[in-house]
Chain A
Amino acid sequence: MPGTPDKKSVSRPRIGDRIFSNLTLFFALLILLIIAGLLVVLNIDAWPAIQKFGISFITSISWDPVREEFGALPAVYGTLLSSLIGLVIAVPVSLGSAIFLSELSPVWVSRPVSFLIEMLAAIPSVIIGLWGLFVMVPFIRDPIEKYLGANLGFFPLFQGPPFGVGFLSAGIILAIMVIPIITAISRDVMHAVPSTQREAMLALGATHWEMITGAVLPYCRSGLVGAVILGLGRALGETMAVTMVIGNSYKLTASLFSPGATIASKVASEFSEASGDLYIGSLITLALVLFGITLLVNIIARLLVWRSVSVKGTGE
């Protein structure tokens, strides 16, 4: 009995293995098929708008369902601006807390805090949106925007009436939603740095701070970029919470206080009641634009990661 199954498995894979490998191949191909199908269907439905507006769809600022003039620029701008605000807030906070959790805190602190951060990531976005609308927005309007408007109002970013809802609120909500993601991944990435790296740095006489900046962070730089990009991906596509706090105005303004719109919020708001091929086509073209932006961001991120890996390689 012993020996024979081994021999058999070497000469010829078992039937179970073959079925399993084919099944996984099938699933992998299925994903490709779904993406291809998605693109085909989106393009078919978007075609009336693409045909009518062409590339000017991206540069036009009008959105008029009555006259059927549609353009994406305010939504593209709103998507990028709100995500940028979100990242500007979220990246320092997330990296800081990840460094603390992985390098500095005692276990009895990091365990429960890590658990809470993961809990935060699991809160449905509609709940965060409601909280944002009824708790955060009044607070942003009354001390924060009023103060900024009164003291920094000469700066175009802080002009206009303080409505509370707007790009600033949307950015802050997005920051709250992406912080858990970036923190959790960054912490795991830092955990994966071999302790020999840390010990070597300390052995050279480095301080704790020098060890973190000189050994830990450079070692896991590509992982950290990946964490930020995952966060950005969520921010770009986030719909419900942003729709509730961004104020849904389709205008192009420099002020952070101004109500605006993102691609996802625009599609979510208007899709159910849209009628006419051109109107629906324009909303779907908007979705395609978001698809494109997400793809672009991912490509840029890949390039950044590759570059940082190769730079590190030559540096050593």
Chain B
Amino acid sequence: MQRFRKNWFAVLAVILVAAVGLAGCSAPAVAPAKPPAPPVNLTGAGATFPAPLYTKWFDEYNKLTGVKVNYQAIGSGGGISQITEGTVDFGASDGIMSADQISKAETKSGPILHIPMTSGAVALIYNLPNIGGQLKLTGDVLANIYLKKIVKWNDPAIAALNPGLKLPDAAIAVVYRSDGSGTTYIFTNYLSKVSPEWKDKVGNATSVKWAGDIGGEKSAGVAGQVQQNPNSIGYVELAYALQNKLAVATLQNAAGKFIEPSLAATTSAAEGVTLPDDMKVMLTNSSNPDAYPIVGFTWLLVYVNQKDQAKGEALVKTMWWAIHDGQKYTEALSYASLAPSAVVKAENAILSIKYQGQPLLSR
């Protein structure tokens, strides 16, 4: 027993020595944080879809102002939980927070804002060699393909939309995103709007119960499966389809026009949807005749009441810059710029952000 105790004493001594050593090492590292005008560092986390644009923005903004923004693309779900926990200064998401998530965040740190930064579209890609033209689809047919109710390419419903094409008598291989993603959220939101059966049987979420055949991991996985499997169809974010020059289908919008997905048609979507002040709105199935129908905003999630003045100021200024000057970087990276009506609403949201009851920014 005695020996045992002695042994433990030795262990304790080792731990103590180690702890003192560590403390000694870390002490000088803390000290230089004191000097005047410390550079402001912001951290954010969330959606992967806008990550390339955000990285570019924060890089440019850092050159202009010295404000450093560290953005981690961990996924929209991760962004929502991190801002709820308060471990980041802002979150980012491709989907609207659920009522549950909002109430959780609000009981912790008060009201939370959805501020749109850019919008993205979901393009339909397909692999039909030698059909002699671009495929046309309607929302209803698309929903039935993804419900596996239309199982062959030469189905009368598809043939009626594409009179000039040589559609094969082959089974449709339906490819979907297997990982939870904002792209799936926007896609299933659109299908829920155009097909009551889809809404009823499957629904709208970042990950759903698929009837389709193959799940691809991320955009690259979906595109890879579509390219490898003849007679397949899949969906990826427009930026991915444009950068990789994939064949995309035109889709009939709410006004009855067949629209090819493009950045301009994506921006137009916001002009056909009534935008509420809180901007928690999906842009799918827009009534604008020029709009592509599968479009959604991607948002930053920010608390109205900021707890740190310096950080709060840097944050509102960064967002203000992003929705104005920052928009010029969108096109080169295949993102759609915000429509003027959306910019106005975003401005109002940013102006409402406060520190101890005082607005952090005024016009």
Distance of A272 Cα from B205 Cα, bound (Å): 14
> Measuring CB to CB, which residues of chain B are less than 8 angstroms from any residue of chain A?
6-8, 10-11, 14, 74-78, 80-81, 98, 100-101, 171, 173, 178-181, 202-210, 212-217, 221, 224-225, 228-229
CB–CB B208/A65 < 8 A: yes
CB–CB A248/B207 < 8 A: no
Q: How would residues 247 to 274 of chain A score, 1 for a CB under 8 Å from any chain B CB and 0 otherwise?
A: 1111000000001010000001110111
Residue A205 at the chain B interface, CB threshold 8 Å: no
CB–CB B10/A275 < 8 A: no
Distance in Å: Cβ of B202 to nearest Cβ of chain A? 7
Write out the residue numbers on chain A whose beta carbons fall within 8 Å of the beta carbon of B14: 19, 22-23
CB–CB B11/A22 < 8 A: yes
CB–CB A65/B229 < 8 A: no
Interface size class of chain A, counting residues whose CB lies under 8 Å from the partner chain: 35 or more
Distance of A133 Cα from B207 Cα, bound (Å): 22
Distance in Å: Cβ of A83 to nearest Cβ of chain B? 20
CB–CB A275/B204 < 8 A: no
CB–CB A165/B225 < 8 A: yes
Q: Which residue of A243, A259, A274, A276 contacts B100 across the interface (Cβ within 8 Å)?
A: A276
Cβ contacts A to B, 15 pairs, < 8 Å = A19-B11, A22-B7, A26-B11, A65-B206, A65-B209, A141-B229, A164-B228, A165-B214, A247-B213, A247-B215, A249-B213, A270-B179, A273-B76, A273-B78, A275-B206
Give the nearest-CB partner of A162 in chain B. Answer: B229
Distance in Å: Cβ of A68 to nearest Cβ of chain B? 10
Distance in Å: Cβ of B145 to nearest Cβ of chain A? 15
Residue A161 at the chain B interface, CB threshold 8 Å: yes
CB–CB A137/B215 < 8 A: no
Do A249 and B207 form a contact, CB below 8 Å, given A272-B75, A273-B180, A274-B180? no
CB–CB B202/A66 < 8 A: yes
> Measuring CB to CB, which residues of chain A are less than 8 angstroms from any residue of chain B?
15, 18-19, 21-23, 25-26, 62-67, 133-134, 137-138, 141, 161, 163-165, 243-244, 247-250, 259, 261, 268-270, 272-276
Distance in Å: Cβ of B200 to nearest Cβ of chain A? 11
Write out the residue numbers on chain B whose beta carbons fall within 8 Å of the beta carbon of A19: 10-11, 14
Give the nearest-CB partner of B48 in chain A. Answer: A272
CB–CB A273/B206 < 8 A: yes
Distance of A210 Cα from B36 Cα, bound (Å): 83
Give the nearest-CB partner of A67 in chain B. Answer: B203
Distance of A274 Cα from B101 Cα, bound (Å): 12
Write out the residue numbers on chain B whose beta carbons fall within 8 Å of the beta carbon of A137: 228
CB–CB B11/A274 < 8 A: no
CB–CB B207/A270 < 8 A: yes
Distance in Å: Cβ of A237 to nearest Cβ of chain B? 18
